[in-house]
Amino acid sequence: MSGQNIRVSASDGGEFGAYVALPESGSAPGPAPGIVLLHEIFGVTPWITDTADLFAAQGYCVAAPEMFWRLEPSFVADFRDPAQREKGFQYRGLIDHDKAVDDIAAVIARLKAMPECNGKIGVTGFCTGGTLTYLAAARLDIDAAVAYYGTQIHEFLDEGQKITCPTILHAGTSDEHVPLELLKQIEAALAGNGNITIHEYDSGHAFAHTERADHYSAEASEQAHRRTFALFNGLRKG
């Protein structure tokens, strides 16, 4: 499966890129749910486009936008390069979360305008993208959200009670960026919202990243993806 790169107009001017992957023609009856897939600190890497393709193969219209475009258009980093990895961490600290959520809204509007999309929208993301997924669930009118090991969710816990759509947070119990003690604080703060389900995995950070042999956990990744697809499959209904 191969996708295409499109341009999306930002609400405050300018435009940014997004990789779009659609289900194979005839693979699903009628239009499919739209999924916004948000990248890690490394940008829209080949792994992100491969993951978008993976989701599209499950029968979703997927858009993976570049979220650091205001800092560096078309930024892509190699996680194996310390200097590039450090720049990714730097951008994670510099990103304007308010404008980033506005950009996600622009991508959602673009997805909804596609004839292949049924108008239902889910948002998912990894690492920094997981944090942005959580904020999208709190601030935007979406139908479902799944955050994989969001690294800054603890900075926005007061927004958790705004989440009204079904939301899953996938978290590793050995995540060096979100220590177990901090994860427990997140769980306690969000416990009162029945729309949010937190799943713990015996793994570290980036456990779904198939290219990172020192982080990837096939068992955790496959289980998390099953739960993700089970939630998003509910968006196929009218």
Q: Which residues are catalytic?
A: 175, 205
Question: Which residues are CB-neighbours of 125 under 8 A, at least 6 positions away?
Answer: 36, 37, 38, 39, 131, 132, 133, 147, 148, 150
Kindly state the helix (H) or strand (E) to which residue 179 belongs, with its residue range. Answer: none
CA atoms within 13 A on the CB side of 237: 7
Residues 238 and 12: their CA atoms lie apart, in Å, by 33
Contact between 206 and 215 (Cβ < 8 Å): yes
Residues 139 and 51: their CA atoms lie apart, in Å, by 25
In terms of Cβ atoms closer than 10 Å to its own Cβ (0-12, 13-18, 19+), residue 13 is: exposed
Tally of residues, the chain:
238
Residues 52 and 35: their CA atoms lie apart, in Å, by 9
CA angle 198, 180, 125 (to 5 degrees): 45
Closest by Cα among 46, 204, 235 to 124: 235
Closest by Cα among 45, 42, 53, 41 to 4: 53
